Amino acid sequence: MTGRTNRLEALHAWLLLLPAMALLVLFTHWPAVGTFIDSFYSTPRGRRRSIFVGLDNYQQMVADPIFWQSLTNNLWYALGTIPVSIALALLMAVWVNDRIAGRALVRMAYFTPTVLPMIAVANIWLFFYTPQYGLLEQVLGAFGVPAHNWLGSPDTALACVIVVTIWKEAGFFMIFYLAALQQISPVLAEAASLEGASRWTYFRRVQFPLLMPTTLFVLVNAVINAFRTVDHIIVMTRGGPDNATSLLLFYIYEVGFKFWDSAYAAALTVVLLALLAAVALGQYVFLERRVHYR
């Protein structure tokens, strides 16, 4: 009897799962496996069918300077956006958590970029950066700084894109810190002040450690975003000038949908997936250690 009810329950469960699972397999699992397989084949062109080419695509990749540049750009981009946006988010949260005048308005100002589409953000900043009459040039010009084409020169283009990402992301991360700060018991602050700890000590020794889980969560999100968002690249620079702002996913998009070389794009995607897997693994290992530590 119980055996039958168990089997019935299992049947029900799988029926409930079926629609979601089918779509997940079709649009996540299978494409991931398919990407891996395709990276060992050539791109079918016209009447030429795709054939097994072993590691050819990967050899092409190793010899491809644009791939290496996109990868290094992406690492610099991650390194430039993540620490600054997290630090700013924390600062914003601490400020907005205090009883400053008009803090609702301030909080709104910080959070607003989050609800805008990345492409709208990119358009707004494109205008902001415009040579000669953009706001940035006007302000800097007033201070006597010589004219400079910020997005048009390879030295500054990536930094400009990094600023845009920080602007868009910091307010989003702020709300997680704000929520975590509000959950810290006021008793801790009272105890710390009885001990005569300075505000900085209280922040460094009490608040910051208690915010660690939030920092980890935000960090993982920031890393993933650094590798999966290229909307602003497409709008602002198209990877230029001279590939100075080409990120990995943007390069995949170019190879796959401008040059229509799907096999090479698959090999590049494998690298991106490996990077994301490393992030997930790192998060897992870090969490494990933290649990043991406790």
Which residues 133-192 are close enough to bind other proteins by CB under 8 A? Answer: 133-135, 138, 167, 171-172, 175-176, 179, 186, 189-190, 192
Residue 136 token pair: 């940035």
How far from each other are the two terminal CA atoms of the chain, in whole angstroms? 45
Which residue from 41, 67, 77, 125 is in contact with other proteins, where contact means CB under 8 A?
125
| Rounded distance between C-alpha atoms, residue 156 and residue 148, angstroms | 9
Q: How far apart are CB 185 and other proteins at their closest, in Å?
A: 12
Toward other proteins, which CB reaches closer, 29 or 290? 29
- Residue given tokens 């991360």 in the structure block: 173
Where does this chain touch other proteins (CB under 8 A) — which range of 64-72, 75-83, 96-104, 149-157? 96-104
| Rounded distance between C-alpha atoms, residue 155 and residue 76, angstroms | 13
Toward other proteins, which CB reaches closer, 157 or 265? 265
Q: How far apart are CB 186 and other proteins at their closest, in Å?
A: 6
**C-alpha distance from residue 107 to each of 82, 92, 113, 159, 166 (Å):** 21, 8, 11, 26, 16
Q: Which of residues 208-267 bind other proteins (CB under 8 A)?
A: 217, 221, 224, 227-231, 234-235, 249, 252-253, 256-257, 262, 265-266
Q: How far apart are CB 293 and other proteins at their closest, in Å?
A: 22
DSSP 29: I
Toward other proteins, which CB reaches closer, 116 or 147? 116
Where does this chain touch other proteins (CB under 8 A) — which range of 50-58, 77-85, 118-126, 152-160? 118-126
Residue type, 128: F
Which residue from 47, 48, 99, 294 is in contact with other proteins, where contact means CB under 8 A?
99
| Rounded distance between C-alpha atoms, residue 229 and residue 280, angstroms | 17
Q: Which of 140, 165, 154 is nearest to 237 (CA)?
A: 154
Where does this chain touch other proteins (CB under 8 A) — which range of 53-61, 76-84, 111-119, 152-160? 111-119
State yes or no: residue 100 binds other proteins (CB under 8 A). Answer: yes
Q: Which of residues 5-64 bind other proteins (CB under 8 A)?
A: 6, 9-10, 12-14, 16-17, 19-24, 26-32, 34-35, 38
DSSP 134: S
Toward other proteins, which CB reaches closer, 80 or 171? 171
Preceding omega of 186 cis (within 30 degrees of 0): no
- Residue given tokens 């990749």 in the structure block: 61
Toward other proteins, which CB reaches closer, 79 or 119? 119
Q: How far apart are CB 96 and other proteins at their closest, in Å?
A: 7
Q: How far apart are CB 59 and other proteins at their closest, in Å?
A: 19
Residue 129 CA neighbour count, 13 Å, CB half: 22
Which residue from 103, 204, 289, 290 is in contact with other proteins, where contact means CB under 8 A?
103
Q: Which of 27, 77, 135 is nearest to 251 (CA)?
A: 77
| Rounded distance between C-alpha atoms, residue 279 and residue 294, angstroms | 23
